[in-house]
Amino acid sequence: QVQFVESGGGLVQPGGSLRLSCVFSGSIANIYVMGWFRQALGKQRELVAVVNNFGLKNYADAVKGRFTISRDGAKNTVALQMNSLNTEDTAVYYCKIWSRSDYWGQGIQVTVSS
C-alpha cells in the first residue's frame, strides 16, 4: 500500500514563495518520472513540472523561471519550489509518480491572494 503525504501549501501573498513536498511510503518499483500537477477551480488538471530518472526536468510555460522541481529517490520525495507566485497559481497541487502503475498524491491547496 503506497501512501502519500503532501505538505507546504497554504495562503501566500502575490510575489511570495512556497515549497511543496511530497513524500511517499511503501514500495514503488521502476519509477520513471515524478512530477506535479495542479487543478484550479472549474478548470482541468494540468501538468506543472516533471523530472525523470536522469534528472531531466520539464516545466509548463506558465511556471518556467519561477518554479523548480527536485527529487530525492532515496528519500522517496519530490518537491516543488514556487517563487514569484501570482493569483493564477491558485490551485490544488497534486504529486504524481509514473511507474508500471501511476500513483497520485491526495492534493494540497495553494492560494495566492492579497
DSSP conformation letters of 57-84: EEE-TTTTTTEEEEEEGGGTEEEEEE-S
**Residue whose entry in the numeric block shows the C-alpha cell 491558485:** 90
Contact call for residues 51 and 70 (beta carbons, < 8 A) = yes
Check residue 1 and give its pLDDT. Answer: 81
Q: How far apart are CA 104 and CA 96, in angstroms?
A: 5
85-114 burial, b at 16+ Cβ within 10 Å, e below that, comes to beeebbbbbbbbbbeeeebebebbebebee
What phi, psi does 89 have (nearest 5°)?
A: -85, -5
Check residue 28 and give its pLDDT. Answer: 81
Check residue 72 and give its pLDDT. Answer: 84
List pLDDT tens digits, range 20-78: 999 998 888 888 899 999 999 999 999 999 999 899 999 999 999 999 999 987 778 99
Which residue would you say has higher pLDDT here, 69 or 100?
A: 69
